[in-house]
Structure 1
Amino acid sequence: MLKNYLSTALRTLWNHRTYTLLNLGGLTVGLTVAVLLLLWVQDERSFDRMHERLDHIYHVNSLVDAQRSLIWTSTQGPVAVYAKREVPGVLEAVRTARHWDLARVIVNDQPFFNSKGLYVDPSFFTLFSFPLVAGNAAEPFPNHQSVIVTEAAAEKYFGTTDVLGQSLHTDDSTSFLVSGILQNIPSNSSIQGELFFPFDLLAKQYTGTGYWKSLESDWGNFNYDTYLLLHADARPDRVAQLLSGIQQKNHPHATADQEYKLQPLADWHLYAPDGSAAGATEVRIFFLVALVILLIACINYVNLTTARATHRSKEVSMRKIIGADRGQLFAQFLGESLLVFVVALGLSLLLIPVLMPVYNDLSGKTLVFDPFQPTVMLLLGGAFLFTLLLAGVYPAMLLSSFQPLQALKGRFGRQNNAGFRQVLVITQFAFSVVLIVSTLVITKQMQYVREKKLGYDRENVLAFWMRDIHDHFAQAKDELEKRPGIRGVASANQNLIQVGSSTGDTDWDGKPEDLSFIVHPVGIEENFLGVMGIELADGTGFSGSKADSAHFILNETAVREAGITDPVGKRFTLWDTEGTIIGVAKDFHVASVHEKIKPVVFYHQPEPWRFYIKTTGADAPQAIAAAEKIWHRYNPEYPFEYEFMDQAYDSLYKSDQRTARLFYYFAGVAIFVSCLGLLGLAIYTAELRTKEIGIRKVLGASVSGIVLLLSRDFLKLVLLSVLMATPLAWWFTHRWLENFAYSTSPGVLVFFVGGATALLIALLTVSVQSIRTALANPVKALRAE
């Protein structure tokens, strides 16, 4: 019987090759794209899952303003110490900090640059599941001159992984001995590094003579990531509350609104510190897109199979008359579907490895496709089962349900299910329209981001950090300004594209005692505002005189949020410097447009570290050459690294740009698969009406009239899908735009263009077959009557 089912299925598929190819094409493309998307989703959801005690590890975030709108992912140094010592339920506490001064690593007199270094507490290697290949996890740092290296770092620096006891030097000539070798940290870990130094090295930097006597008493610097391992019965909110109380008790300047919030490490990658779904939203979107594309492919199969059900009615009737029951027929037709799906899956398995390099480039991932990996097998099995149940069961039920006598007489009643197929066509094109509109909105937002006025001029501005330049800053600046093609030279101590530093150590006349006001301080020299095109709304800029050491310029947001009226001439204190506000700068962005404009305070710093060189597009090569010459004069031991500000600004939106690119392709795939199904239905409809069309042509019907006749019903369905998709597309795009503090408005035109695009593509698809049918010789159609 099985052999009979197989031979019948193969014969049927071969006899109807056009429909078989359309079904195979749609299912193969749908399965391929869906699996690629699900691999991306699975990778995003796998972040930090390598830790054995993940469910009990929390990251400590800091709430630093009264509105709870500003949450830092960093904490002060004492938090971990007090948490482990005084908070019940805390089993372990670990701090990490970036090694910002690690400009180069020297091994055997050979320098290496761009190393990733972390300061970590010793318990880092027991709290997290980062196994040591060599060394003692319980005592990773025998002394302060010890370092742990990853296997990849050992290969890079020493050419081998057998490096225990070997030495390396950092930029300040400090020598470290390798005391352990760490397995390479997986790419799906939120914690990344290749060199791990003892955290106690930071504590040695405190001399005991400053305001903060030691690291354990320094409640003013939020420079450290803190992780807590909690007891299974401990309540994270209660632990955070106790930590907040400890801060209030020990921090001499703490305000009542400075608190802590514990975030599960399992949520660290996909959720923002305030708990909002940042990356999680994108994961859900792409998961839904994968299901939608699979659904569209399944709808194609159901439509084409059920539409052609009448061609097999006599076959079903004869089988029933000679004794076949409905169960046997159901098994036969389900087997045919299964055969098609297995072939489609096989083709997908061949396509996915071919497409994977391109897909990785588009998605920014390094995914590896291994069909025998348990997770991948689960994804493939799930996609296959979803397709089989959705697209295989219903056609088999329909085909096996024909009543023999009625079918032999050509009477099918409701079994032809034309209305159901129309609903399916409307549904699949509605999904396609949503993807098209979403793509248009994302494109419009990306264009808005690129063209948005930031409040300063970023075009053709070359920027780079300069080491060892303080004593020669004026000379270097003067030489650069004399170079042809350089329109201006300025400097600051921050990257204006994304200012990282912030402080709450400010004061002014009339400041409420309980106000926690966080500003972003930026040190600049006197011509920075002019070169960068930052305009003043009131007052004056820095003059370069000694008096500027006690002068401040606030942006409009800082003035507004501080509540200072008529600010010019008013007292203002930043850190331990009391001075006067001399100007108010018009608002400008110091972060991406995902965030609102932040309060900024400019203070005068005559010799900052970051150069900004204004040039023109045509003169950029000369400006780069001049900057490189200056660089090598004062920093001969370091490679020259620079960036253009417009490129650095674009890099803030890498994730959004990847989302846009992926949506372009997904929308194209959805339309392509939908059109395959529409083409199949158009071919089927033309077959049914061949004789009718022949008679119409004999009676004088024109080709255009026949094309309109065959296309009209399909276009009505697509138009209905546009109407149905519009509110869904509006909701989806507005939800996505909520991720931006500043965004474009989609406008009615976007929805009109999206709908018109779907209609035009559908018209072209149907017209191909309609024109072919209309041009056929009517005599051939009528001769068989």
Structure 2
Amino acid sequence: MYSSIKIGGFALGIAACLLIALYIRHELSYDLQYPQADRIYRAVIDWHMPNSKNAYLPAPLAGALKRDYPEVEKAGRFLDLELFGAGSAQVRRSDKVENNFEEGLLFADQELLDILQIPFIYGDAAHALDKPNTIVITKRKADKYFPNENPVGKSLILNDNNAKSYEIGGVIADFPSNSHLQCDFIPTLKGVELWQGEQTNWLANNYQTYILLRPGTDAAKFQAKFAGIKSKYLLTNARGSTRIVEIFEKVTLAIQSLKDIHLRSEGINDGLHHGDIRLVWLFGAVACFILIIACINFINLSTARSASRAKEVGLRKTIGSDRAGLIRQFLSESTLFSFLSFALGIGLAWLLLPYFNTLSGQSLQFPWTAWWLAPLLIVSAVIVGLLAGLYPSLHLSSFQPIHALKGNIGRTSRRSNMRSVLVVFQFTVSIALIVGTFVIYRQVRYILDKKVGFDKEQVMMIQGANVVGDRAPAFKKALLQLPGVKNVTVSDYLPVSGTKRNDNLFSEEGKLAENLPVSGQLWIVDHDYVKTMSMHILAGRDFSISMPTDSQAVVINQTMAKQLGLKDPVGKRITNTDKTWTVIGVVEDFHFESLRENIRPLCLAIGNGPSIISVKVHTADMRRFISSVTSVWDAFAPHQPIRYSFLDQRFARMYADVERTGRIFSSFAVLAIIVACLGLFGLSAFMAEQRTKEIRVRKVLGASVANVIVLLSKEFIRLALIAIVIASPLAWYLMQRWLNNFAYHINVEWWVFILAGLIVTVITLLTVSFQSVKAALMNPVQSLRSE
């Protein structure tokens, strides 16, 4: 039994470590596939305002870098802002009429492809985006639109704009899952001008710029020189506005390594999906703790059963074996246990991998063909075996022959104390993991249940609605006639993250010389947006179709009014660099980004260019309603497949990574507890076996089963209580650090620690009681007679 517990506990610990190692390896491998990754950087700007650090910079920056800095070999840009047509589009072949809604579209320079050196399957890699109106697509999209043929030279139509077709200049390999860039359609930036003079405008920040440094360039020294862009271009172009100059004087320019983008971009606004290096460290620590718990099982069971091997040690020493030889023997045994455990653990990890992939949202695979895998596993098995077996080997080999042969080894205070320390460590880790599981679960529930300032339930969002074009009002009217429809709105933006927005600098008209402008967002909406989203007007009024002047008006949120210093905002006029509006209303603050962020200043303005139609509905038969909407859509866009989702689902998707973290954390917490329980089970069995005579004497003297259970359990309960005292402040500190990632979060309540301690205590009692009851129910007369 004891060998099975040793191997089983080890195997579970190893399986957990292998699964987490696959996850960590995947996270750390991001962007390493790009051949020049060590020399690739992106430009980052920090405006030193709230939420104003981002990777969006002016259009002429790339040209200036190539022109002014000999350290720069290449500089390329991409544009991914939905405001300017990136993100998603209706796509079709130029010789077809049926469109497909596609996501993953960004505009880019040829230089960006040169920098990343993405493998080309078809086309000229050096000139694929050189000409205006060219496009590069991925292999999976080439197979979809042009199966079994080379599509280079053929054309695609975006958003049903027949006046402008895109010639395919090349087909690239699909972006791997460990690339921070994920797209399928890359139209060229050649010839693109968002507005007249935009490509030479240093005051508009819409492009992400990537830089390839020449070999041997010191990145730190280049970053210091890169700061010169501010004085040479930004401040020069801001002359004439004292306040804008003051803003640019505070600006900090920096470069970020390509290899840091995925895991070390906290606080940088770039519209990309990121990982978190702190989670990598957290899961790495969990893996190590689980393996340590498994090693502790091995150590405790090996030292606890030392009396049973005492005569073997005494005999071997009597016939001439020295201590070094005994240590080698015991280390060899522990290494053999480790190899058996690794074999079983690898099998368990392979069986559990599909479940882990579902849990983590990844598509991880074992690198069976990698040359380094077998040597790494072998070396790991040896190291783990030696570390786990070191203390038991030293302990067993220290027995004196005469005492060992007489069986006079017994329990010593020193050995008992060592086992107690190790058991307390197991309990401490288990309690901390349980606390972490509770806190993460409660934070996720808090996020999903929190009132966000608008009604996200039963709001259907029809995406790609720009293909309806001028018929949007008629389409909206047709939707309003459907049963159950309460309101319909046409807009460019939704109150969920993931839609890239339009950041502006706002100020009260005539006050720019007195106050610094406020960084905020401008959303283009229609007259029914506030009503459809069930937002609350706190002052003034909502937009009205009967008020033509509302085309020059805005509704602002509370944060915008506060940061602009508007005590009575209604009737005030605010401006950005392009336009001036009159404030007609103030809407209650609502969350339109992750609860990791504070609510930002926001302006809602009336405008055209719809991309999303949102339908507020009240129905019990959603399937029938969707069918009705689809019929209306088909009447207005017969060759455009409808693409829809629901606002509450999009909102929940913002926190999918947090939910995944919680599921992974809780799964490994359960696994750690199982491994610890295996050790407790074996240790309690040995203690019951060691105290068999004492238990039977007590039973003869009248002790009950409950008395025996208390006798064998009280030591473990004492250790559990010590662990609660140690684990509570540690878990509180770690969870508070994690919660600080959220601007809005729960408080860590005291009862969480009590509950975690109770769970561990109950599990301990159940585990130990099994052996205690078994020992207590034995017939004491037969046992004492046999002795």
Q: Which shows bigger deviation, 152-161 or 358-367?
A: 152-161
Aligned AA (1:507): S
- 2:40 aligned to which of 38, 57, 66: 57
Does structure 1 residue 268 correspond to structure 2 residue 261?
A: yes
Does structure 1 residue 154 correspond to structure 2 residue 139?
A: no
Does structure 1 residue 736 correspond to structure 2 residue 721?
A: no
Q: Give the C-alpha shift of residue 731 in structure 1.
A: 0.8
Q: Which shows bigger deviation, 587-596 or 342-351?
A: 342-351
- CA contact 2:18–2:346 (8 Å) conserved in 1: no
Query: Which residue is 1:79 aligned to?
Result: 61
Does structure 1 residue 335 correspond to structure 2 residue 332?
A: yes
Aligned AA (1:350): G
Query: Which residue is 1:67 aligned to?
Result: 49
Tell me: CA distance 1:558–1:158, structure 2 relative to 1, closer, same or farther (3 Å): same
Residues of 2 paired with 1:267 and 1:124: CA distance? 18
Q: Following superposition of structure 1 onto structure 2, how do residues 688-707 of structure 1 map, counting pairs within 5 Å?
A: 688-707=690-709
Query: Which residue is 2:10 aligned to?
Result: 27
SS at match of 1:76: coil
What are the Cα deviations for residues 5-61 of structure 1, in whole angstroms up to 9, with x where unaligned? xxxxxxxxxxxxx00111111001000011100110111011011233322211112
- CA contact 2:475–2:636 (8 Å) conserved in 1: no
Tell me: CA distance 1:71–1:624, structure 2 relative to 1, closer, same or farther (3 Å): same
Aligned AA (2:489): A
Q: Give the C-alpha shift of residue 473 in structure 1.
A: 3.3
TM-score normalised per structure 1: 0.92
Does structure 1 residue 247 correspond to structure 2 residue 229?
A: no
Residues of 2 paired with 1:638 and 1:116: CA distance? 18
Residues of 2 paired with 1:107 and 1:299: CA distance? 67
Q: Which shows bigger deviation, 392-401 or 261-270?
A: 392-401
Does structure 1 residue 223 correspond to structure 2 residue 196?
A: no
Q: Which shows bigger deviation, 700-709 or 460-469?
A: 460-469
Residues of 1 paired with 2:655 and 2:63: CA distance? 37
What are the Cα deviations for residues 95-142 of structure 1, in whole angstroms up to 9, with x where unaligned? 122344632132763654425333222222332242334443333345
- CA contact 1:469–1:609 (8 Å) conserved in 2: no
- CA contact 2:461–2:647 (8 Å) conserved in 1: yes
Does structure 1 residue 187 correspond to structure 2 residue 177?
A: yes
Query: Which residue is 1:7 aligned to?
Result: none
- CA contact 2:203–2:237 (8 Å) conserved in 1: no
Residues of 1 paired with 2:294 and 2:486: CA distance? 58
Does structure 1 residue 41 correspond to structure 2 residue 29?
A: no
- 1:347 aligned to which of 329, 344, 360: 344
Query: Which residue is 2:552 aligned to?
Result: 550
Residues of 1 paired with 2:653 and 2:88: CA distance? 23
Tell me: CA distance 1:236–1:638, structure 2 relative to 1, closer, same or farther (3 Å): farther
SS at match of 1:371: coil
- CA contact 2:435–2:752 (8 Å) conserved in 1: yes
Tell me: CA distance 1:633–1:382, structure 2 relative to 1, closer, same or farther (3 Å): farther
Q: Following superposition of structure 1 onto structure 2, how do residues 514-553 of structure 1 map, counting pairs within 5 Å?
A: 515-544=516-545, 545-553=547-555
Aligned AA (1:540): R
Q: Give the C-alpha shift of residue 539 in structure 1.
A: 1.5
SS at match of 1:143: coil
- CA contact 1:75–1:223 (8 Å) conserved in 2: yes
Residues of 2 paired with 1:594 and 1:380: CA distance? 39
Query: Which residue is 1:8 aligned to?
Result: none
Q: Which shows bigger deviation, 245-254 or 392-401?
A: 245-254
RMSD between superposed Cα atoms in Å: 2.4
Does structure 1 residue 599 correspond to structure 2 residue 601?
A: yes
TM-score normalised per structure 2: 0.92
What are the Cα deviations for residues 453-478 of structure 1, in whole angstroms up to 9, with x where unaligned? 10111112222232343533333333
Aligned AA (2:285): L
Residues of 1 paired with 2:190 and 2:720: CA distance? 67
Residues of 2 paired with 1:580 and 1:562: CA distance? 14
Query: Which residue is 1:9 aligned to?
Result: none
Q: Give the C-alpha shift of residue 778 in structure 1.
A: 1.3
- 2:436 aligned to which of 430, 433, 438: 438
Tell me: CA distance 1:381–1:267, structure 2 relative to 1, closer, same or farther (3 Å): farther
Does structure 1 residue 472 correspond to structure 2 residue 471?
A: yes
- CA contact 1:77–1:222 (8 Å) conserved in 2: yes
Q: Which shows bigger deviation, 355-364 or 245-254?
A: 245-254
SS at match of 2:358: helix
- CA contact 1:554–1:602 (8 Å) conserved in 2: yes
Q: Give the C-alpha shift of residue 527 in structure 1.
A: 3.1
- CA contact 1:107–1:158 (8 Å) conserved in 2: no
Residues of 2 paired with 1:361 and 1:375: CA distance? 27
Query: Which residue is 1:503 aligned to?
Result: 503
What are the Cα deviations for residues 488-533 of structure 1, in whole angstroms up to 9, with x where unaligned? 3233321222363233343314334672421111223333223322
Query: Which residue is 1:233 aligned to?
Result: 218
- 2:421 aligned to which of 413, 418, 423: 423
What are the Cα deviations for residues 150-195 of structure 1, in whole angstroms up to 9, with x where unaligned? 3333333322364444544444344444443323332211122333
Q: Give the C-alpha shift of residue 569 in structure 1.
A: 1.5
Query: Which residue is 2:186 aligned to?
Result: 196
Query: Which residue is 1:282 aligned to?
Result: 279
Tell me: CA distance 1:383–1:556, structure 2 relative to 1, closer, same or farther (3 Å): farther
Query: Which residue is 1:660 aligned to?
Result: 662
Residues of 2 paired with 1:273 and 1:292: CA distance? 27
- CA contact 2:334–2:385 (8 Å) conserved in 1: yes
- CA contact 2:133–2:166 (8 Å) conserved in 1: yes
Q: Following superposition of structure 1 onto structure 2, how do residues 630-649 of structure 1 map, counting pairs within 5 Å?
A: 630-649=632-651
Q: Following superposition of structure 1 onto structure 2, how do residues 621-770 of structure 1 map, counting pairs within 5 Å?
A: 621-770=623-772
- CA contact 1:502–1:518 (8 Å) conserved in 2: no
- 2:370 aligned to which of 373, 380, 384: 373
Q: Give the C-alpha shift of residue 583 in structure 1.
A: 1.5
Aligned AA (1:233): D
Residues of 2 paired with 1:781 and 1:161: CA distance? 84
- CA contact 2:574–2:581 (8 Å) conserved in 1: yes
Residues of 2 paired with 1:130 and 1:470: CA distance? 36
- CA contact 2:27–2:275 (8 Å) conserved in 1: no
Tell me: CA distance 1:615–1:113, structure 2 relative to 1, closer, same or farther (3 Å): closer
Consecutive unaligned residues of structure 1, counting only runs of 5 or more, are 1-17
Aligned AA (2:455): D
Q: Give the C-alpha shift of residue 573 in structure 1.
A: 2.4
SS at match of 2:227: helix
Percent of residue pairs bearing the same amino acid type: 34
- 1:393 aligned to which of 367, 390, 394: 390
- CA contact 2:496–2:592 (8 Å) conserved in 1: yes
Tell me: CA distance 1:778–1:161, structure 2 relative to 1, closer, same or farther (3 Å): farther
Q: Which shows bigger deviation, 653-662 or 416-425?
A: 416-425
SS at match of 1:547: helix
Tell me: CA distance 1:42–1:191, structure 2 relative to 1, closer, same or farther (3 Å): same
- 1:137 aligned to which of 122, 125, 132: 125
Aligned AA (1:263): Q
Q: Which shows bigger deviation, 269-278 or 125-134?
A: 269-278
- 2:581 aligned to which of 579, 582, 596: 579
